[in-house]
Homo-oligomer: A and B are copies of this chain.
Amino acid sequence: MTTTDVLRRFNRTYTQRIGALDESFLGLGLPLGASRLVFEIGEAGATVRDLRARLGLDSGQLARQLRRLEDDGLVAMEPDAADRRRRTVRLTAEGRAFRRRLDDRSEQLAERLVAPLTTRQQERLTEALATADLLVRAATVDIRSVHPASVEAKRAVQSYFDELDERFPTGFDPGDHHDDEHMAPGTGAFVVASSDGEPVACGGVQALAPAMGEIKRMWVHPGWRGAGLGSRLLRHLEHVSADLGHRVVRLDTNGTLVEAIAMYERAGYRHIERYNGNPYAQAWFEKDLTDARR
């Protein structure tokens, strides 16, 4: 059986048996769509814009649904302080109570579903689903080029720095890295991979010399490792670098990042001499892009 066979077979099993998890939202007085909406708004609230993107609804449709929830006293809406074209939606106390009821229902149904399985089988199921979840999410990650000064880029880079600071024995001080400008479109590129709007990986390319690129700020969210996201991003960055006219690409890394080093080696990078003054770097790599160019 091929992957697609299994996937499609699973899809059938799924819609027939687990798909009912969604239907647990029924019977509490709201239609399915409205319940999903309450669930999606969440404890923290959300902007109308976000909801539309996440649920893939027509704007008119969503506006009507929200008004109904407002009339029912489940949500309160107010203009977004930062951008007054937007409106933020927040659950009222009543709305939160309703959401909790939805949550309970869903939980009960999930429990009932797995109840016939032994503990051992439940563990196997958990493991299988977690694996499938990670891989499916990884496969559907959205890889996009953004400006290094954009909010998305900054958030991703911040996560990267935070992790370095934790992992390096001496901590990590990014200095005032105005050099991010080098990764702006034109001379370089910055790429963010995101899932559900959260950055899960990033990386940039800048020019070191004519026809020579450098990959920097490469990072994969800890919860997303082991799904091949790093290699995919690396390959992507190599293509970007090649498109910028580079024939060779270099990068440096710290010795504590052993997984990263292993990945670079697997990807065809070879160790070279120190080529920069980065105080945190302990290994330097180079790869010829001319034959990797698809």
Contact = CB atoms under 8 A, between A and B. Distances in A.
Interface of A: 1-4, 6-11, 13-15, 17-19, 21-22, 106-107, 110-111, 113-118, 120-133, 135-141, 227-228, 231-232
B136 A132 contact: no
A294 to B, nearest CB: 15
Contact of A129 (B7, B18, B113, B227): B7
Contacts of A133: 6, 9-10, 13
Given A18-B7, A121-B227, A228-B121, A116 B139 contact: yes
> In the assembly, how many copies of this chain are there?
2
Nearest to A141: B116
13 contacts: A3-B114, A4-B107, A7-B129, A8-B106, A8-B110, A11-B21, A114-B139, A116-B140, A118-B231, A121-B139, A125-B135, A125-B139, A128-B131
A132 B140 contact: no
Given A107-B8, A136-B13, A125 B114 contact: no
Contacts of A19: 15
A4 to B, nearest CB: 4
Q: Please give me the 5 A-B residue pairs with the lowest Cβ-Cβ distance, nearest first.
A: A4-B110, A128-B131, A128-B132, A128-B128, A125-B135
Given A17-B140, A118-B228, A132-B132, 15 more contacts: A2-B126, A3-B114, A6-B129, A7-B21, A7-B125, A11-B18, A11-B21, A14-B14, A17-B139, A114-B139, A120-B228, A121-B138, A121-B228, A125-B136, A128-B135
Nearest to A107: B4
A231 B135 CA distance: 32
